[in-house]
Structure 1
């Protein structure tokens, strides 16, 4: 199976690098500056599960992408989806399957509208990574799980083939019969953790010490009611895990969105919090989601103003 990984940053570089390490047919679609770096030093992974180095990863840029691929894995940030689509659309052939690993669920409708619903399967991953100054992919937690499946819940010939191509590559792979529920559960987890750590500009343990755990639970209640109304209520185990995570005293947990704010980078505010808020407002009062989204949009407005001043 010919696999195109859209992006070779933390997520795409990790899972794609693991696949390349065991000899799978993997090509990375990258920007020119990332290509230069990877051509110079190769693709390196530093992980508690073992380091890896791909001396000469197979790379391509949008301007020369002509081949068709069997599987396209999207690992870009949600705010880069439109640019990513323009970049990889020439690689979509009559039998191509698109597997997005983006946060939230809004991207599914965008991909369906562009390529048709039959091309798009559900997908998600749990991993925390960062690019170091020298371009190494640093795996900074002890989880590296990739889940995917037909959104209908069926197990089909194509998902079995995809699973065969992605399996036994040094990370945890799950062919899920409930991928949409999995995606919603992750969305609740991210909205609750990112929402609070961004609002409070702190770790979980710090805002718990400040007495803000009830606010975190109020936020989770708003998200949970939304998921139930949409037909994807979290199970007791998933909900219990999120509750414990967002109220754990002494926790040093932070989130990629809060780290992005600290380094004045773009954030997935609309795709994670904004979309949840829009759905929630149709059914319940949303004081926490409304406050958090206003906070994130204020950050983006300041960032845009500062950028305009520099131009």
Structure 2
């Protein structure tokens, strides 16, 4: 199968780099200085799992340059870019293409599907700490690299195709789960990412500060409890306690890690504040759930009723 990675930041480059390192057919859509560097020199990944990967023959294109069609399309852009990439997905898809969004947020696949009539969009989430440290160079921290994907209720996809994708990712060294309850799994991921980003950005701290007992960890736990109330109101059936699961993920991360949202805020770039914080407040309001800690942090970042 031909794989296409749309968005070649830390997440997209890590997925595509692992695929390419195992001789899979994979293309990248990137932009700016990162794109130009990859075109000239290839992609380098400093991986906690695979060591140093030097991939000089990576195929990278701008969205305008790409003229091929892909079988599996991983969407690895920021949540605020969904509307911008819809025309790109339409352009690079054929009638049997499968789109797998791996983005921060809840309900992303359904929202994308509503704008992509005729294109098969499922849902997914990823657990990884990875970032660009220089054009064409990625750092993937630690041993946590897990992809969970699956079909929403009412969506029919050939199970052989789904298993083929899963096995390909596993063969590349990526822990991959084919989920039968993807709505709950994507919300569970969001229930970690959102509190971690909100707490880290509010206090301007690293993951290590939240790993230690004290105010920061307590705030993280309070945010987890609030978002858990939303999940319960949505009647999602979780196999684990959301707060306990999020604490385990938190404690497994490199202490020096920060969320991509926090990095963007500090760098003065556009950040996913709306999708990771404000969307939670809106959803809670619609469901009649009280989330005072989230609301306090949302107000700090400019949320207004």
TM-score by length of 1: 0.85
Identify the residue that residue 309 of structure 1 maps to in structure 2: none
Rounded Cα–Cα distance in structure 1 between residues aligned with 2:263 and 2:206: 10
CA contact (8 A) 1:192 1:246 kept: no
How far apart are 1:70 and its partner, in Å?
Answer: 1.0
> Which piece of structure 1 moves more, 46-55 or 103-112?
103-112
2: CA distance between counterparts of 1:210 and 1:217?
11
User: What is the distance in 2 between the residues matched to 1:35 and 1:98?
Assistant: 22
Q: Which of these residues, 171, 174, 196, is aligned with residue 174 of structure 2?
A: 171
Q: Which has the larger radius of gyration?
A: 1
Deviation at 1:164, TM superposition (A): 3.7
Q: Which residue of 1 aligns with 2:290?
A: 285
- TM-score by structure 2 length? 0.87
Counterpart selection for 1:241 from 240, 245, 253: 245
CA distances 1:109-147 after superposition (whole Å, capped 9, x unpaired): 331112248711111111111111353111123211112
Give the aligned partner of residue 100 of structure 1: 101
Could you list the per-position Cα deviations for residues 150-207 of structure 1 after superposition, in whole angstroms to 9, with x for gaps in the alignment? 2239872331232244330122122222222111111111122111111122235546
Partner SS for 1:46: strand
- Corresponding position of 2:235: 231
Are residues 1:4 and 2:7 paired?
no
Map 1:57-136; keep pairs closer than 5 Å.
Answer: 57-116=58-117, 119-136=120-137
d(CA) in 1 for partners of 2:249 and 2:27?
A: 36
Select which of 247, 264, 277 maps to 1:260: 264
Cα RMSD between the aligned structures? 2.6
* Counterparts of 1:39 and 1:253, CA distance in 2: 29
Aligned partners of 1:126 and 1:143 also within 8 Å? yes
Partners of 1:213 and 1:247 within 8 A in 2: no
- Structure 2 Cα separation of the partners of residues 98 and 246 of structure 1: 29
Structure 2: tracts of 5 or more residues without a match: none
**Alpha-carbon shift at residue 243 of structure 1 (Å):** 4.3
Structure with greater proportional helix content: 1
Q: Distance in 1 between matches of 2:76 and 2:263?
A: 18
Match of 1:307 in 2: none
Conserved 8 A contact 2:5-2:73:
yes
* Cα distance in 1, alignment partners of residues 166 and 249 from structure 2: 30
The equivalent of 2:188 in structure 1 is: 185
SS at match of 1:132: strand
Q: 1:183 to 1:200 in 2, by over 3 A?
A: same
Deviation digits for residues 232-266 of structure 1 (CA, Å, limit 9, x no counterpart): 25443543132466799xx6654232222222222
Task: Find the residue that maps to 1:231 and give its secondary structure.
Answer: coil
